[in-house]
Every structure is written in C-alpha cells, then in structure tokens.
Amino acid sequence: MDFAPHTDDDLAAMLAAIGKSDLADLYRHIPESLRVRGALNLPPGRSEDEVLGALARHAAANTPDTVCFAGGGAYDHYVPAVVGAVISRGELLTSYTPYQPEVSQGMLQALFEYQTVISELTGLPVSNASLYDGGSAVAEAVSMACVATRRNKVVLSAALDAPSRQIVRTYGHPLGREVAVVDHDDRGTTPAGQVADDVAAVVIAQPNSLGVVEDVRAQAEAAHAAGAKLIVKLEPTAVGLLATPGSQGADLVIGEGQPLGQGLSYGGPSFGFLACTHDQVRRLPGRVVGQTVDRRGTRGYVMTLRAREQDIRRERATSNICTNQTLCAVAALVYVTWLGPQGLRELAAACLSRARHAAARLTRVDGVELAVSGPFLKEFALRLQGVDPHAVVGGLLDAGYLIGPVVPDGPTAGAVMVAVTERRTAAEVEGLAEALADVLRTQRRELVAAAGPAAGPAAGGESA
C-alpha cells in the first residue's frame, strides 16, 4: 500500500510516455548486483485502522497515566487546546523552510514573533529561529563563545544537567575543546570563583539541574573579568518570577523549550532556543528571520544573515544546522501568547507555591531531606537515606507516581529530583508522600533482610 494516486491506466500511460516497460525498468540502469531481489524482511502493509490498532497497543504498553512529578528539563505543564489547533493547520504543518518568502509570510512572521518572545524571556536582543533541543543549544552556544574569544576551553557547572555536559563534550572532542567542571556548593549553587584567562565560556543553568536559583550577576562578573562569555541555560518559565539572565549580564542564553507548550512525548520533539547580544549576530547558528519591505513598501519578513549558513558558507558556516524545530517554536509562541505576561507570572508563582508545599510535606517523611539548601522554584532535589534511589523511583512507579531523574554524578549524586507544576494538587502531593513512606519502608526492610538477621530493626516510617 502507498499513498500514490496512480491508477493502472495512469501507470501505463506515464510509463509509455517515458519509454519504460514497467516500474522495475526505472531501476534497470543500476548494477544488477545492487538491486534488491524479492521481498524485504518487513511486515506486510496494513490498513489505517490496523496501523492505529498496532500503535495503540504500543502506546498502552507504556504507563504514562502516573502522576508526574518528574523534572530534569521536561515538565508536565498543561498544554492548552489552542496550541494543537494552530500547529495542526496544514498550511503551517506541511510547509518547509521558507526559501520563498512571498508564499511563506505566515511562518516567517510567526518566527519573527517567536524571536521577539525569546528575546523578552531571555533579556537579550537577538534570538535565532530555534535549534534542535536545549542540549545541542548548549553546544552551539559554546561554539559561538569559542569563536568569539578565540579560546578553546569551557567551564561547566556540575549543576548543568548531565546530558548537556555530555553533549558539550561530544561536540567539543573533535575540535580539541577542553572541558572543566566546577562542583556546586552545599547550597547547590555554583561558586562564582576566579575564571582563568584561557576560558572561552562559563556555563551555568538557571535554575540549575538541582532546581536551585543561581547568582547570574556574580557569574557574569567573574566570567567577564577573564574575558570569557557567560552562557546561561534557562528554564524559560522561571522568568515569570526571576530577573532575565540577559538583564543580569549573560552573553548567551539558551534553553530547552519543552516547558513552553510542547507536551512530554518522551522528550521530543520540542526545541532549543538561543539568544545573544547584538555583537554576536554574525556568529549565530541556524535560521534567523528579519523584517524588511517588498517592492510596494509593504512590511514583510525574510530569512536573513544567510551568509552564516551551511548552504552558502559550506565548511565555513557557523553551524551545520538546516532543518530545525520550527513548528515547535510556533507552538511555543502560541503558548506564550495564551499565557501572556500575567499568566506567565501566575504559572511560575503557582509552581513555586506547590513545590514549596510538596517539599515541606515530603521532607516530613522519615529519612527524606532536601539534598541542598539553596532557593528553588518548581523543582528540588531529595536525598533518600540508606536506599537505592532507582529502586525507590521504581517502587513509586508501581504506586502510580513518577519522580526523577536521579542525579547521576557530582556532589549530590543519588539525590532524586521532584518537580511540581501548576497541575499537581495537594491531594496528589499527599498521595506521593504516603507512597514514598511506604516504598522507603519496604526498601529498608529488604535491605535489612538482605544484610542478615544481625542488622537490627528496620528504620523508616513516617513521623508526621
């Protein structure tokens, strides 16, 4: 089965028109030894109904209908219906890169509006039209900083999420880029120590991967004193409450766009955003949309600064990126427009209130405490004493609650992240707290049993 509309008569007429006897004839000039003979080892074609049935079975084998307290860059924020209504419009959904601006003004204007929104959220004047995701955006920003400073060393906060740190290494390795990591302190914040004068950039996250608010201003001063750039990976809903990193001196602000109207979808697609100061526009990766006029003087939009890009500059391009995440960027624009400034503030404030409530409740469970003491917004790290955190996450899943990720490395390794969005109710927090107490009790009992009879009575239970 395929989606081609050809009837047998069409096929016959068209083949005759080009002097071919049959469809196979179209491949006959290719060396015979290379042509597939017979059927492929693939399932047979199916009807739409059957395909959707098979997909529904796969989807049902996932267990997403847990109460989601997971964070780590992706959050269970509500996605309003209007987002789907816009991005499922065929004119937008089924278009491609706006190479022909006269027939692409809708997308181009939307991207111009998106760039404006990102500029507002980051506090920097210039945004590109999206990158693949937050992780690759960190790597792209690092490349920009290395080119700008002609240095090849970066300092990453240990409280920059582990995947982003890995991506920076993967991108940097072939270019001989040196990567150093600074540990966070007991508060969970990155110390703004002296930066060596061969460092291209310092990279922190706001709030960081432990959920803690960093002192961007101090970081910017330290980086700038060494002639380095400050790159901030921003969780974008945070600026509903916090000052924008751009206003605090960050040179490059990037981030994972998932919290802005993207849904979870196992982490993709969403998008990465990247904003910078004016002096860096010619080093930006990817598409950038600019305003101009047409021959009649009517306002319109085009892709601009094209001489940076791979199709023109080839091996000297600022990046290889071509297809990016445009439709996700438009979804974010719709979401942010739906929120408005007051909505963003209310969202961030609601997350803060709910997260503080959840942290207070969960730390009343025996053997559960905050892993670090710094100020947090919607996400925080819990230390679970004397148990395997992965087993606890698994136990909670069975009880219908999702928390995580487990902090994989650094001074807080083994702590578990808990994120609380505007959707999480007091009753759900209560349910999580009770389930956690239960799971911890079971875990400790098992540990004791495994350690043998001499190990003494099981600790745990709930004191509150």
Binding residues (CB under 6 A) for ligand PLP: these are 322-323
Q: Which does 290 bind (CB under 5 to 8 A by kind): other proteins, ligand PLP, none?
A: other proteins
The CA-CA-CA angle for residues 115, 120, 122, to 5°, reads 90
> Within positions 199 to 238, which residues make up the interface with other proteins, using CB under 8 A?
213, 216-217
Instruction: Please identify, using beta-carbon distances, which residue of 269 and 414 lies nearer to other proteins.
Output: 269
Q: Give just the sign of the alpha carbon dihedral 25, 27, 33, 37.
A: negative
Closest separation in Å from C-beta 451 to other proteins: 25
Site string for other proteins, 96-115 (x = CB under 8 A): xxxxxxxxxxxx-xxxxx-x
Nearer to other proteins, 94 or 194 (CB): 94
- Indicate which of other proteins, ligand PLP, none lies near residue 383 (CB less than 5 to 8 Å, by partner kind): none
Report the residue number, 93 or 322, with the smaller CB distance to ligand PLP. 322
The DSSP call for residue 88 is: T
Q: With beta carbons less than 8 A apart as the criterion, state whether 389 and 416 touch.
A: yes
- Could you give the CA distance from residue 337 to residue 260 in angstroms, rounded to a whole number? 10
Count interface residues toward other proteins (CB under 8 A): 210
Q: What is the DSSP string of 113-169?
A: HHHHHHHHHHT-SEE-S-BS-HHHHHHHHHHHHHHHHT--EEEEETTS-HHHHHHHH
**Of 285, 214, 290, the residue nearest 248 (C-alpha):** 214
> In whole angstroms, how close is the CB of 31 to ligand PLP at the nearest point?
22
Is there binding between residue 186 and other proteins (CB under 8 A)?
no
Instruction: Establish if 362 lies at the interface with other proteins (CB under 8 A).
Output: no
Asked if 42 interacts with other proteins (CB under 8 A), we say: yes
User: What is the per-residue binding string for other proteins in 401-440, x denoting contact by CB under 8 A?
Assistant: -x-xx----------------xx-xxx-x-----------
- Interatomic CA distance for residues 83 and 261, integer angstroms: 7
The interface partner of residue 92, options being other proteins, ligand PLP, none and the CB cut-off 5 to 8 Å by kind, is: other proteins
* CA distance linking residue 392 with residue 402, whole number of Å: 10
Using CB under 8 A, which of the segments 147-155, 349-357, 380-388, 437-445 binds other proteins? 349-357
Q: Which amino acid is at 117?
A: V
Residue 21 engages other proteins in binding (rule: CB under 8 A): no
Distance CA 431, CA 403 (A): 13
310 vs 446, which CB is nearer to other proteins? 310
Decide: is 385 part of the binding site for other proteins (CB under 8 A). no
- 275's enclosing H/E stretch is strand 272-276
> Do the strands 368-370 and 272-276 form a parallel or antiparallel pair, or are they unpaired?
unpaired
Q: Is 356 in the site for other proteins (CB under 8 A)?
A: yes
What's the distance, Cα to Cα, between the start and end of the chain in Å? Answer: 62
Check residue 363 for interaction with other proteins (CB under 8 A).
no
Q: Indicate whether 394 belongs to the interface with other proteins (CB under 8 A).
A: yes
Residues 147, 152, 166, 458: which binds other proteins (CB under 8 A)? 166
**Interacting positions 68-87 with other proteins (CB under 8 A):** 68, 70-74, 76, 80, 82, 85-87
CB 214 within 8 A of CB 206: yes
Site membership for other proteins, residue 460 (CB under 8 A) = no
d(CA 71, CA 75): 5
Instruction: Give least dist CB 178 to other proteins, A.
Output: 14
Site for other proteins in 251-270 (CB under 8 A): 256, 263-269
Contact between 192 and other proteins (CB under 8 A)?
Answer: no
Contact between 248 and 218 under an 8 Å Cβ cutoff? The reply is no
